């Protein structure tokens, strides 16, 4: 395993608020990661820490084996497309795109030109006069054309319409296939990107809830629906991720059922439903999560499952 | 995409379907992992895992430096496997639902007979 | 967990290149640093020229009156705004350009070195342009109407051109450095930081004024500046500029681009 990001027990306090709270994980080279969680969960702060824009209160961060703080060598390998990125007041789109090749060593100008045409970004308009979608598109263009070995997209498609979002996914996949690199996609819109992700990190209230390969995570939970007693007796002492009930009906979301257990459930007349990544994360991070987080292992899927 | 099973399994199944349907004839090259990924809008690693399942099962084989090909005899083998699974995958749930609705085996057989004989696609 | 290896990455690009990138960043839109000042300067010049023309046609044309008018005009502060504008440029640069530069992978140190270089360069270019315009002003007999805009008293009308160049340069640099310091305070501590700072500075100045007054030291202060002269005073401003620059550096070293 080649870890290009190694985070050990990192904490970031803003006053008395812990925006990131004792987080540890590694990112391996050449994968697309999803950094998922609700708004305000700490995603942007975490990425700001990884890119040296913020200073950690405690803990250790290694990017390419080095601290990212005030490290030009590391910074040149990174592209961080921040949803709230500020631009100089007088900057037009063309100024941003003219500066990018100076700062990103792997910049591909013809790819950038192609993307500008495809996203229909007005080069001569001032950044602060752009619509939210056009503003996001500029970030997407810089993020893709920079081909940085470690690229962060923070809510990259706010305001982008369906066509532009699809274009983003297509170009990201195609370019990633040709020029493998590590990409971190941070978003709270999970359904659209879930198939793009190889590995998923879920953060909630500053803490890491999930650090797991996406496909294992997607198959990891099942919703069991049926009569209250039947569902309760089937689920037994199993860990319940989410609980919903109306009258005599009960719907419980549980982790990892084996094929035999599924058959038992079906024989007992229970309905088994799939749980999408989005549903799973909504359930993990919804208000009722406090019960869950207390006994949830940070990594529900064993590492040795990976080749 | 169906969310109850991992995507890579679904990819493998989709390729199998194409082989069974003859869209991917034996001894022809299949699209690359990256092409699959781009076409299906999924992570290339996931697509690779799906293709890997089929390589392990001997349905596809690698030609070094060229790409991935459909093994000869793959189609017949896949059809045989699917037939084996047909009973548990399709007949069992059908019977369970019929039982729930009070349709007995004879009525079910008649229903099947009367319904336009359209090839059911797995 | 298996052994963890780390891929090796290339060394950073040379410092000069990185600093050069920051300079280019500041100059990316030349309109801000050249276009706007030239246009505003042109407008002020046009208004002033009309005033000179009116004064010249209205005033008696005997040599004494002409000399009086010329003497009055050399206290013109018409070009002062351009120094204030430079301060605004520096404040904006520290705030928005800083955020942008960090977003594009610049380190704070590289950004500050590049900004310092940009500002010294800008001050030099502006000073040269200023002195050239002053020469043109003299050569055209006050733009044909005996006006004075650039041969201002404040830069020493009697000093040789190279000393005046130094004076103008020092003043530009001072405003840019002060703007950098204010801008970095804003980035680090937001409006609250600036309020605290200016409150403290006001108290210090009032205290100093009170102290000088109470101790009857105004003549001594006047004497100091008289001895120092224009050149000495401007040289002293370089010290203040250096302090402001160092403050900006120290403040931004621990600043983060936040909303």
Write the pLDDT tens digit of every residue in A228-277: 888 888 888 888 888 888 888 888 888 878 778 888 887 788 888 888 88
Kindly state the tokens that stand for C241: 């500029």
pLDDT, tens digit, for every residue of C36-56?
Answer: 888 888 888 888 888 888 887
Domain boundary among A184, A216, A248: A216
Nearest-CA distance B88 → chain A (Å): 11
The angle formed by the CA atoms of residues C155, C157 and C159, to the nearest 5 degrees, is 85
Q: Are A140 and A153 in contact (CB under 8 A)?
A: yes
Q: Which of C2, C107, C257 sits opposite A86 (nearest CB)?
A: C257
Burial of B22: CB neighbours in 10 Å, binned 0-12, 13-18, 19+: exposed
- Asked if C224 reaches chain A (Cβ–Cβ under 8 Å), the answer is no
Residue of chain C whose alpha carbon sits nearest to that of A80: C103
Residues A210 and A223 in one domain: no
**Which is nearest to A8 in space by CA: A48, A49, A53, A45?**
A49
- pLDDT above 60 (res C182): yes
Residues A142, A144: Cα–Cα separation, whole Å: 6
With contacts defined as CB-CB under 8 Å, which chain B residues touch A173? 37-38, 41-44
Total of domains in chain C: 1
Mean residue pLDDT across chain B: 86
Residues A126 and A171 in one domain: yes
Examine residue C41 and state whether it is found in any structural domain, yes or no: no
Q: What is the DSSP string of C4-21?
A: PB----PPPPPHHHHHHH
Q: Which of B6, B37, B45 sits opposite A219 (nearest CB)?
A: B6
Q: What is the DSSP string of A161-189?
A: -HHHHHHHHHHHHHHHHHS--EEEEEES-
Residues C258, C95: Cα–Cα separation, whole Å: 10
Chain A, 98 to 117: residues with Cβ < 8 Å from chain C are 98-100, 102-105
User: What is the per-residue pLDDT for B69?
Assistant: 94
Give chain B's largest Cα–Cα span: 58
Contact flag for B and C (3+ C-beta pairs < 8 Å): no
Kindly state the tokens that stand for A226: 């049926």
Kindly state the tokens that stand for C135: 């020469």
Categorize the per-residue pLDDT at C124 as very low, low, confident or very high, splitting at 50, 70 and 90: very high
Residues A135 and A113 in one domain: yes
Residues A90 and A114 in one domain: yes
Q: Which of A1, A64, A86 sits opposite C2 (nearest CB)?
A: A1
User: What is the per-residue pLDDT for B79?
Assistant: 93
Q: Which of C13, C100, C108 sits opposite A70 (nearest CB)?
A: C108
Mean residue pLDDT across chain C: 87
Residues A70 and A212 in one domain: yes
Cβ count near A273 (within 10 Å): 14
User: What is the per-residue pLDDT for C4?
Assistant: 67
- pLDDT above 70 (res A306): no
Q: Are B53 and B36 in contact (CB under 8 A)?
A: no
With contacts defined as CB-CB under 8 Å, which chain B residues touch A184? none
Chain C, 107 to 136: residues with Cβ < 8 Å from chain A are 107-110
**Which is nearest to A291 in space by CA: A258, A234, A247, A253?**
A253
Residues C197, C43: Cα–Cα separation, whole Å: 35
User: What is the per-residue pLDDT for C169?
Assistant: 94
Residues A189 and A263 in one domain: no
Residues C98, C93: Cα–Cα separation, whole Å: 6
Say yes or no for a CB contact (<8 Å) between A103 and C2: no
CA-CA distances (angstroms) from residue A285 to A164, A205, A257, A290? 29, 9, 21, 9
Examine residue C168 and state whether it is found in any structural domain, yes or no: yes
Choose the weakest-confidence range: A24-28, A98-102, B97-101, C59-63. Answer: C59-63
- Asked if B40 reaches chain A (Cβ–Cβ under 8 Å), the answer is yes
User: What is the per-residue pLDDT for A299?
Assistant: 41
Domain boundary among A161, A189, A216: A216
Residue of chain A whose alpha carbon sits nearest to that of C109: A70
Say yes or no for a CB contact (<8 Å) between C96 and A88: yes
pLDDT, tens digit, for every residue of B9-43?
Answer: 888 998 999 999 999 999 999 999 888 898 888 99
User: What is the per-residue pLDDT for A181?
Assistant: 95
Coil vs helix vs strand at A225? strand
Q: Are A2 and A182 in contact (CB under 8 A)?
A: no
Residues C22, A102: Cα–Cα separation, whole Å: 9
Examine residue C155 and state whether it is found in any structural domain, yes or no: yes
The DSSP letter of residue A66 is: B
Total of domains in chain A: 2
Residues C178, C102: Cα–Cα separation, whole Å: 22
Residues A125 and A16 in one domain: yes
With contacts defined as CB-CB under 8 Å, which chain A residues touch B37? 173, 177
CA-CA distances (angstroms) from residue A183 to A54, A138, A197, C22, C37? 20, 17, 9, 26, 43
User: What is the per-residue pLDDT for C151?
Assistant: 81
What integer is the mean pLDDT of C202-209? 92
What integer is the mean pLDDT of A186-201? 89
Examine residue C129 and state whether it is found in any structural domain, yes or no: yes
Q: What is the DSSP string of B74-112?
A: HHHHHHHHHHHHHIIIIIHHHHHHHHHHT--HHHHHHHH
Partners of B60 in the β-ladder: B70
The DSSP letter of residue C78 is: T
Examine residue C11 and state whether it is found in any structural domain, yes or no: no
Examine residue C185 and state whether it is found in any structural domain, yes or no: yes
**Which is nearest to A85 in space by CA: A150, A146, A156?**
A156
With contacts defined as CB-CB under 8 Å, which chain C residues touch A65? 6
Choose the weakest-confidence range: A32-36, B63-67, C181-185. Answer: B63-67
Categorize the per-residue pLDDT at C250 as very low, low, confident or very high, splitting at 50, 70 and 90: very high
pTM of the model: 0.85
Domain holding A300, by residue range, is 219-306
Residues A231 and A197 in one domain: no
Q: Are C174 and C180 in contact (CB under 8 A)?
A: no
What integer is the mean pLDDT of C176-181? 94
User: What is the per-residue pLDDT for A305?
Assistant: 40
Partners of A151 in the β-ladder: A79, A183
For residue A302, how many C-alpha atoms fall within 13 Å in the half-sphere facing its CB? 3
Q: In what order do the strands lie in the sheet with A207-213?
A: A78-81, A150-154, A182-187, A32-36, A199-204, A207-213
Buried b / exposed e over C68-98, threshold 16 CB at 10 Å, is ebeeebeebebbeebbebbbebbbbbbbbbb
Q: B7-74 maps to which CATH number?
A: 1.10.10.10
Choose the weakest-confidence range: A35-49, C127-141, C172-186, C223-237. Answer: C223-237
Look up tokens 């099973």; give the residue: B5
User: What is the per-residue pLDDT for C231?
Assistant: 81
- Asked if C250 reaches chain A (Cβ–Cβ under 8 Å), the answer is no
Highest mean pLDDT pick, A52-56, A303-307, C76-80: A52-56
Choose the weakest-confidence range: A8-12, A214-218, B12-16, C243-247. Answer: A214-218
Residues C191, C203: Cα–Cα separation, whole Å: 18
With contacts defined as CB-CB under 8 Å, which chain A residues touch B45? 31-32, 198
- Domain positions in chain B: 7-74, 80-120
Question: The domain that contains A188 carries what CATH number?
Answer: 3.40.50.300
User: What is the per-residue pLDDT for A1?
Assistant: 66
Say yes or no for a CB contact (<8 Å) between A173 and B43: yes
Examine residue C50 and state whether it is found in any structural domain, yes or no: no
Residues A228 and A300 in one domain: yes
Cβ–Cβ pairs < 8 A, chains A and B: 59
Residues A62 and A73 in one domain: yes
- Asked if B7 reaches chain A (Cβ–Cβ under 8 Å), the answer is yes
- pLDDT above 90 (res C24): yes
Residues A282, A191: Cα–Cα separation, whole Å: 11
User: What is the per-residue pLDDT for B117?
Assistant: 62
Residues C239, C245: Cα–Cα separation, whole Å: 10
Categorize the per-residue pLDDT at A28 as very low, low, confident or very high, splitting at 50, 70 and 90: very high
Nearest-CA distance B113 → chain A (Å): 28
**Which is nearest to C252 in space by CA: C154, C149, C163, C182?**
C182
* Choice between C100 and B122, residue whose per-residue pLDDT is larger: C100
Choose the weakest-confidence range: A65-79, C52-66, C176-190, C231-245. Answer: C52-66
Say yes or no for a CB contact (<8 Å) between B45 and A178: no
- pLDDT above 60 (res A293): no
Residues A88, C193: Cα–Cα separation, whole Å: 22
Residues A196 and A83 in one domain: yes
Categorize the per-residue pLDDT at C3 as very low, low, confident or very high, splitting at 50, 70 and 90: low
Q: Are A219 and B6 in contact (CB under 8 A)?
A: yes
pLDDT, tens digit, for every residue of A113-151?
Answer: 999 999 999 999 999 999 999 999 999 999 999 999 999
Residues C253, A16: Cα–Cα separation, whole Å: 23
Domain boundary among A164, A182, A216: A216
- Asked if C29 reaches chain A (Cβ–Cβ under 8 Å), the answer is yes
Residues C237, A286: Cα–Cα separation, whole Å: 59
- pLDDT above 60 (res B119): no
- Asked if C88 reaches chain A (Cβ–Cβ under 8 Å), the answer is no
- Asked if A80 reaches chain C (Cβ–Cβ under 8 Å), the answer is yes
Partners of A210 in the β-ladder: A202
Question: Which of C5, C15, C28 should we substitute to test contact with A (largest number of A Cβ atoms within 10 Å)?
Answer: C28
């Amino acid at each position: 395993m080649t870890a290009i990001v190694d985070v050990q027990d990192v904490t970031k306090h803003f006053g008395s608020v812990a925006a990131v709270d004792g987080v540890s994980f590694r990112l391996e080279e050449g994968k697309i990661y999803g950094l998922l969680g609700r708004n305000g969960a700490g995603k942007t702060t975490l990425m700001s820490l990884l890119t040296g824009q913020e200073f950690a209160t405690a803990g250790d961060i290694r990017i390419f084996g080095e601290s990212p703080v005030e490290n030009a060598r590391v910074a040149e390998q990174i592209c961080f497309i921040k949803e709230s990125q500020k631009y100089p007041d007088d900057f037009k789109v063309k100024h941003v795109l003219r500066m990018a090749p100076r700062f990103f060593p792997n910049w591909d100008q013809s790819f950038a030109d192609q993307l500008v045409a495809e996203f229909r970004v007005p080069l001569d308009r001032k950044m602060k006069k752009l619509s939210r979608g056009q503003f996001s598109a500029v970030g997407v263009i810089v993020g893709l054309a920079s081909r940085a070995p470690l690229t962060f997209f923070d809510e990259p498609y706010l305001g982008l319409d369906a066509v532009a979002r699809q274009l983003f996914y297509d170009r990201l996949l195609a370019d990633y296939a040709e020029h493998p690199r590590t990409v971190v996609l941070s978003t709270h819109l999970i359904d659209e990107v879930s198939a793009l992700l190889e590995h998923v990190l879920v953060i909630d209230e500053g803490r890491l809830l999930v650090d797991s390969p996406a496909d294992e995570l997607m198959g990891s939970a099942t919703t069991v629906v049926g009569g209250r007693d039947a569902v309760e007796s089937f689920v037994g002492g199993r860990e319940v991720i989410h609980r919903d009930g109306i009258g005599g009906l009960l719907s419980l979301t549980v982790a990892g059922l084996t094929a035999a257990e599924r058959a038992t459930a079906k024989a007992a007349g229970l309905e088994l439903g799939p749980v999408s990544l989005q549903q799973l994360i909504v359930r993990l991070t919804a208000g009722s999560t406090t019960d869950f987080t207390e006994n949830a292992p940070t990594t529900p899927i064993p590492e040795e499952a990976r080749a | 995409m169906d969310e109850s099973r991992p995507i890579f399994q679904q990819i493998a199944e989709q390729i199998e379907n194409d082989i069974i349907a003859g869209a991917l004839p034996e001894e022809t090259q299949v699209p690359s992992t990256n092409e699959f990924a781009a076409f299906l809008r999924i992570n290339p690693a996931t697509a690779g895992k799906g293709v890997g399942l089929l390589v392990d099962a001997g349905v596809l084989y690698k030609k070094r430096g060229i790409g991935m090909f459909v093994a000869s005899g793959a189609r017949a083998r896949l059809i045989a496997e699917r037939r084996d699974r047909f009973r548990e995958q399709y007949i069992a749930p059908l019977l369970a639902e019929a039982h729930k609705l009070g349709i007995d085996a004879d009525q079910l057989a008649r229903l099947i007979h009367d319904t336009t004989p359209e090839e059911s696609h797995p | 967990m298996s052994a963890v290896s780390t891929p090796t990455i290339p060394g950073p690009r040379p410092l000069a290149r990185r600093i050069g990138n920051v300079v280019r960043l500041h100059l990316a839109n030349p309109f801000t640093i050249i276009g706007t000042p030239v246009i505003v300067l042109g407008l002020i010049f046009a208004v002033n020229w009309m005033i000179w023309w009116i004064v010249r046609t209205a005033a008696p044309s005997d040599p004494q009156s002409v000399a009086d008018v010329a003497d009055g005009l050399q206290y013109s502060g018409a070009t002062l705004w351009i120094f204030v504008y430079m301060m605004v440029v520096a404040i904006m640069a520290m705030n928005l350009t800083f955020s942008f530069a960090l977003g594009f992978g610049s380190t704070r140190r590289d950004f500050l070195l590049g900004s310092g270089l940009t500002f010294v360069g800008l001050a030099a270019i502006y000073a040269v342009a200023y002195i050239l315009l002053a020469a043109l002003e003299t050569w055209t007999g006050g733009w044909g109407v005996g006006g004075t805009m650039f041969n201002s008293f404040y830069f020493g009308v009697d000093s040789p051109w190279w000393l005046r160049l130094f004076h103008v340069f020092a003043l530009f640099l001072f405003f840019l450095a002060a703007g950098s310091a204010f801008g970095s305070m804003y980035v680090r501590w937001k409006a609250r930081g600036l309020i605290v700072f200016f409150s403290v500075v006001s108290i210090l100045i009032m205290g100093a004024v009170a102290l000088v007054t109470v101790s009857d030291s105004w003549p001594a202060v006047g004497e100091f500046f008289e001895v120092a002269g224009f050149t000495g005073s401007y040289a002293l401003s370089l010290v203040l500029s250096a302090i402001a620059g160092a403050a900006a550096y120290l403040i931004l070293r621990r600043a983060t681009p936040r909303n």
